[in-house]
Structure 1
Amino acid sequence: MTDRVSRRVCLILVVSVAIFLRWCVSLFSYSGQNKPPMFGDYEAQRHWMEITLNLPTKEWYFNTSNNDLQYWGLDYPPLTAYHSLICGYVARYINPEFVALKVSRGYESYEHKLFMRATVVVADLLVYIPALCCYFSDKSRGQINKFNKPSSQKARHDTYVAELFLALIYPGIILIDHGHFQYNGVSLGFMVAAVAALLQSKLLVAAMAFCLALNYKQMELYHSLPFFCYMLGVCLSTKKKLLALKKLLCIASVVIPTFILVWVPFLSNIDVILQVLRRLFPLYRGVFEDKVANVWCALNIVYKLRNVDHLIMAKICLVSTLLAVTPTCLDLLLHPEKNKFLLALINSSLAFFLFSFHVHEKSILLAAIPAILYFPIEPFPVFWFLLVSNFSMLPLILKDNVLIPFVALTIFYFMSVIVIVDIEFGCDGMRLKSDSGPVVSKSNVNQKSQTKVKLKKQLSNEKWLSYAFMASIIGCVVLTVCSIFIKPPQKYPDLFPLIVSVYSCAHFLLFFLYFMYRQISPDTHVCLKCD
């Protein structure tokens, strides 16, 4: 009973710290604060509450006298609209001025800010945080035979708490959802829940959870191919054909009704469906938004891709993305293994972020969250990637005036990982996967001298990574300082945002190649936290 109480107390403390950090960030500025006429994402979310509450469903995605699509028209799937509707009811109950039709545009007050910030915290408490708790529990994490469980129950609990804590304090999603202002935790939370269910071989639950994620934000298409390929690969790898067909039909029997249930208010008319799809996939927009750390923004320096016809550019992006994501999908389809699935989520997300059409700088979160799930397996490269992913959003952070929480959270996260990995994983937590056998710990390496020699050789060969890591992080720090204190030349006002995006893009390309290699050619590897 004492251990059970201790476990609950630790879990409550970890979640409380995560909520405290989120609320501290929410006290600062948000996207578009005091910046008429369009304001920012904060106003977009408020406006969707106004529209969904006051207008009939059939008008939500159409341009009407009461719904000007040029003013933050709804462009997310129906589940986001339903969420906005629920928030709208609560807002009207608190103060009808929050969501009064037309006259509430640009509404800003201290009470409204508290309400809006609270809705994001509640969303995290209902979806994102429980999903991470489920994923880092022994039931899910134990399914991946790459991270040795400690021998004692207390040690298992301590490791679970440490992993969960580091996942919850990742600065990127806190700064975007609770600083900039969005609800990424809802779609990403459903995605994490789907991964947790999949690792426990609950394919039907995973299918339903991911359908909810995709119907909340269409950017979950970044993760759709790994889910599709893994589930199809599991069905195809079943020796009994009738059983394989049964599995496939069961998955379809969950996916199709889930989509129908979410979309049923819009299925009465084909014109309505097409209009919703046009809003979800706006090909009339540019190839990227602002200075994004992807390939197209980097190439735009040499050749102005913004001037290329939107439809032509969209086709180029489509072909490039498919070529980039094909190796990881084929590998997962032919070898549907759970550790490969986690890597495929990272690789697919990076492929979409680097090469797809109309990418936001915030979209790097779609690669960062799967990387967080992979952290217990390879802490060093994931830690490095997460730091760079957070840094890549610096121009947006400066634009939203949330520099102080950005610096504070980044330092806190950096120090937390260094301290916790030393304490919880330590040198005895270093793992080695041999070419022909299972994962073994350092304490067992002495049993095979050949493996020991190989381990020592790898450690000596990979010392250069620590220097590369330090150089990379120093570069991030230098660019951050320059962006804050140095005024760019008048001729190049976006000089530093552009340098940040290109610098981050170079990192992401290297990480993409590394994680692709880790998936397709799993080699002997060491978690490089220990010297």
Structure 2
Amino acid sequence: MAAPVMDSWSWFPALALGVSFLKCLFISAYHSTDFEVHRNWLAITHSLPVSRWYHENTSEWTLDYPPLFALFEFGLSHVARHFDRNMLQVENLNYASPPTVLFQRLSVIFTDLVFIYAAKECCRCVQEQKGSRDVLNRPSFVLAVLLLWNFGLLIVDHLHFQYNGFLFGILLLSVSKHLQSQHLQGALLFSILLNLKHIYLYVAPAYGVYLLRSFCFSQDNKDGSIRWMSFSPLRLLALGAIVVSVCALSFGPFIAMGQLPQVLSRLFPFKRGLCHAYWAPNIWALYNILDKILAMLGVRLKLLQEAELPRASMTGGLVQEFQHSVLPSISPSITLVCTLLSVLPAAASIWRRPRGARGFLRCLLLCALGSFMFGWHVHEKAILLAILPLSILAVESREDAGIFLILSTTGHYSLFPLIFTPAELPIKVALMLMFVIFSFIALTKLHSNSGVASLLHPLESVYLLGLIPVAIACEVIFPLSSWQQKLPFLPLLVTSVYCSMGVCYSFLRLYISMLRDEERPKQA
């Protein structure tokens, strides 16, 4: 990937200002329990000594992010006190005064400046098409819209409420440094990111293997094998020093206080169960529904006694452990093994045959999706960890553009249940349609002159069109029917299971694409 000199960036400030203005319109809109989660963390870090941060449990929303994010909340709290000091009292549970809402919303919008800067850096790393004056023929413009106006980030951060834009900004900035061969800076940013939110461990294997293979080994033999004489211990020590220094800064005070086990117990709460409050669209959603179908068939065929089956708490929308009825129940160790097996081929591929920044990005995507597909207690919002980096590949490769259309459409629609209030229904539908329509039109124009069929196979198009009746049934018909009282979890189940098929398919297509790339150098 080259980094050409851009002739004009006059459109970028307009895109950034436009989406920032849109975010401001959502200040008084619906917000989820995550709003109270972060208000409570502001109170904990501001009102209590560091020694009590990871012990405080007045609220059920205890501090469960790494220490650097706690410091981030501590910094925000010193600004928050100028809006409403009462929000910084730990005992003020579910406190949401107008000044508190204003501050929390503005804090997300303001910290999104990191994401805006990172998006511009990523846009500078894509290869432009020379001589084109149409912005839709400029990969940098299309990528800027796909990142800045990403539907998932808009509803997850600015309606539901979180700080994903700030965090993904650091991730994309780290990726852009690697695309520019500034590996130490990229490693530093990723180390900071891991100590802000540990979910980014999902993509740590891609970083570790890529940096070891492409940064610590300066040259390869002509056949692609490693020349061990080219190994640089100094580079490895530099990488190690970066990781150790950042972790020491983050966890050092808690290690000194003997609180590391307590912190880790908050970061990795394995008792929360296999699935989140509703199933993320991954392999376990399909596993769960298969178990339910087998249980129903077993009862009908009188092979099972309904009274003897475990209580179906997995469909209650609650965060808790449960036992499968027919299929073997899944433990955290099983999900760990499955996750490692799913990302191992991708990591092995870039170790055996490095393919530069493109190979790293593909490995990062496969690690993100593999962890999403097979991980323990995966949040549905984690799908953004694959969608956002895939945007970079989508503007440069026709095949990746097709995968992006499938993954982003299904992955974004799977976020619909997060915003369930009637007043926000038109907003999420309009934003989703705008993003999907732009994605289809812009990527088609960018990559072909033969229409959408060149990016999607007919069956893929049929599958995506199937989201329309699913949406109508779940968002319109079901709330008006009597089933809402009897089966309140049904729309979530249908959404998760349908979308999981698209996510699984995208995962397989990405792997196939990686294998094809691996074969091309051998044929050359």
Same fold (TM over 0.5): yes
TM tier relative to shorter chain: 0.7 to 0.9
Q: CA deviation at 1:242?
A: 6.0
What is the CA distance between 1:243 and its match in structure 2?
A: 4.8
Cα distance in 2 for residues equivalent to 1:241 and 1:6 = 43
Equivalent residue for 2:68, pick from 63, 79, 92: 79
Give yes or no for contact 1:186–1:213 (8 Å, CA) kept in 2.
Answer: no
SS in 1 for 2:96: coil
The structure 2 residue matched to 1:495, chosen from 469, 475, 490, is 490
Write the deviation string for residues 296-333 of structure 1: whole angstroms up to 9, x where unpaired: 23222343674249996101111111111111111122
Aligned to 2:236: 248
State which of 39, 47, 51 in structure 2 corresponds to 1:54.
47
Q: CA deviation at 1:222?
A: 1.0
Paired residues for 1:113-124 under 5 Å: 113-124=101-112
Shift in CA distance, 299/399, structure 1 to aligned 2, threshold 3 Å:
farther
Q: 1:5 to 1:290 in 2, by over 3 A?
A: closer
Q: Give me the TM-score of the superposition, normalised by structure 1.
A: 0.82
Q: Secondary structure at the match of 2:81?
A: helix
Pick aligned residue for 2:344 from 326, 329, 334: 326
Map of 2:203 onto structure 1: 223
If the length of structure 2 is used for normalisation, what is the TM-score? 0.83
**RMSD (Å) for aligned C-alpha atoms:** 2.8
**Equivalence for 1:182:** 162
Structure 2: state its 5+ residue gaps. 220-226, 292-311, 315-320
Matched positions, count: 468
Work out the CA distance in 1 between the residues paired with 2:48 and 2:513: 50
Report SS of the residue matched to 2:22: helix
Q: Counterpart of 1:438?
A: none
Matches within 5 A, 1:351-500: 351-377=370-396, 378-398=400-420, 402-421=424-443, 425=446, 427=448, 465-487=456-478, 489=483, 490-500=485-495
Cα distance change of structure 1 residues 396 and 502 upon mapping to structure 2, 3 Å threshold? same
The answer for unaligned runs of 5 or more in structure 1 is 32-39, 143-148, 431-458, 526-531
Return the match for 1:161 from 135, 138, 141.
141
1:307 aligned to which of 312, 322, 327: 322
User: Do the aligned residues in 2 keep the contact of 1:233 with 1:335 (CA within 8 Å)?
Assistant: no
**Helix, strand or coil for the counterpart of 2:256?**
coil
Counterpart in the other structure of 2:129: 150
> Quick check: 1:260 aligned with 2:252?
no
- Distance in 2, matches of 1:311 and 1:215, equals 32
Check conservation: 2:126, 2:139, Cα contact below 8 A.
Answer: no
Q: CA deviation at 1:133?
A: 0.8
Maintained 8 Å contact 1:75/1:279: yes
Q: Match for residue 274 of structure 1?
A: 261
Provide the rounded CA distance (Å) in 1 between the counterparts of 2:14 and 2:409: 24
Q: Match for 1:284 among 248, 252, 271?
A: 271
Cα deviations across residues 49-81 of structure 1 (Å, max 9, x unaligned)? 000000011110014xxx42x521000011211
User: 2:353 and 2:235 mapped to 1: Cα distance?
Assistant: 17
Looking at structure 2, the residues matched to 387 and 174 of structure 1 have their Cα atoms a distance apart, in angstroms, of 15
The answer (yes or no) to whether the contact 1:198–1:206 under 8 Å persists in 2 is: yes
Q: Cα offset for 1:237?
A: 6.1
Q: What amino acid does structure 2 have at the position aligned with 1:196?
A: S
CA shift at 1:276, angstroms? 0.6
Matched residue, 2:17: 16
For 2:517, the aligned partner's letter is P
Q: Contact 1:132–1:164 (CA<8 Å) still a contact in 2? A: yes
2:174 matched to which residue of 1? 194
Which residue of the other structure, out of 153, 156, 160, is the alignment partner of 1:173? 153
Match of 1:28 in 2: 29
| TM-aligned CA distance change 1:328 to 1:401, over 3 Å | farther
CA contact (8 A) 2:405 2:440 kept: no
Alignment counterpart, residue 141 of structure 1, candidates 123, 126, 131: 126
Q: Is the 8 A contact 2:42 2:74 kept in 1?
A: yes
Alpha carbons 2:353, 2:518 under 8 Å: kept: no
Aligned counterparts of 1:114 and 1:494: Cα–Cα separation in 2: 33
Per-residue deviation, 1:466:
4.1
